[in-house]
Amino acid sequence: MSNCSGTELGLPGHSTYLLFSSLQVVKELMQEICEQLGAGEPEEMQEFALFAIRSTNNNNGKMVRPMRTEEYLHDYLLEDALVTVSLRRLTWKTPLHFENKIYTDVHYGQVLWDYLNGKMLLSYNQEVEMQVAILLLFQHWAKTEQESSVPPREGLKEYIPMPLQSQINPQTLQNHLGMLLRTRQPLQPLDAKIQFIEHVMKLPFFGYNFYFVERVSNSTIPVPCYFGVNNEQIIVVDNITQAVSHVIPLKELQKMRTLRPTSDGGLPGIELNYGSAASPKSLWLELPEAKEMYHTVVVILDKTDFHP
């Protein structure tokens, strides 16, 4: 019997542990993990997906894609690759509940990573500056035994989303922090994580899985731009203004396919066919993460009632 003792399962914000059998179906493993998280209800279990992260030995980078529930884990174990399996929440329909510490840690780990890596598409303004200060404080308190200390000025950058790091004035941020520290009671790490998650959930684009797109067939869409996918729709977001220019409801998606690069060094793409039979529409886009976006949409469609 083959096994996958060399294949790691990563939980966001939590320790990595190993899979024991590559003969498992993805659905079985998902069930085991969700029960450990305290997310055993079928409706909430549907919100999660396992992602295969394949790092090749020849330094060609890595491939990331969500796994469908009926697939076998051994389908991903290739001799020329190191495969890591990671859990991620893809949709956010069911209310969150924080009675389980692992559940809280996992959600905090994912939300924190998305926030710090610019996946929330925050654009700079004074209101965002204050939000960043509040979220900075929650991150600091979330670290064990930091409740009574002040975040050091020279270390503030690691708490700020990457796209905003050059735009936020450290002194202004320090002033906001000083005011917050005078007016707020320190939180225990677990409570700080919960507060962080609840604050981030109020941001405009929370719940979308975003992809940076470099070319689009529709000339009215300025590029580069972002395409976001959630459990209901695909949106197109302006790279600078963060304005939503196009919305494609998933229930209108008729057909979808991946496209190979049209030239050496070119980008892969996706073609979307949507609309009604009376008014069909088509759109293609080119992006580095074409396969990941394609499979993410497929997995979300599998988990909803929308099937093209």
All CATH 3.10.20.90 domain ranges of the chain, comma separated, are 8-89
* Sequence-distant (≥ 6) Cβ neighbours of residue 100 within 8 angstroms: 37, 38, 39
Amino acid present at 11: L
Q: Which CATH architecture has domain 209-303?
A: Roll (2.30)
CATH code of 101-200, in short, is 1.20.80
Average confidence (pLDDT) over 174-193 = 92
Q: Which of 3.50.50.60, 3.40.190.10, 3.40.50.300, 3.10.20.90 is the CATH number of 8-89?
A: 3.10.20.90
Residue 38 has pLDDT above 60, yes or no: yes
**Residue closest to 3 by CA, chosen among 17, 20, 16:** 20
In the structure, what pLDDT confidence band is assigned to residue 60 with cuts at 50, 70 and 90? Answer: low
- Encode pLDDT of 72-108 as tens digits: 887 776 555 677 788 999 999 999 999 999 999 999 9
All CATH 1.20.80 domain ranges of the chain, comma separated, are 101-200
Average confidence (pLDDT) over 135-163 = 85
All CATH 2.30.29.30 domain ranges of the chain, comma separated, are 209-303
Contact present, 54 and 78 (Cβ < 8 Å): yes
Higher pLDDT, 77 or 185: 185
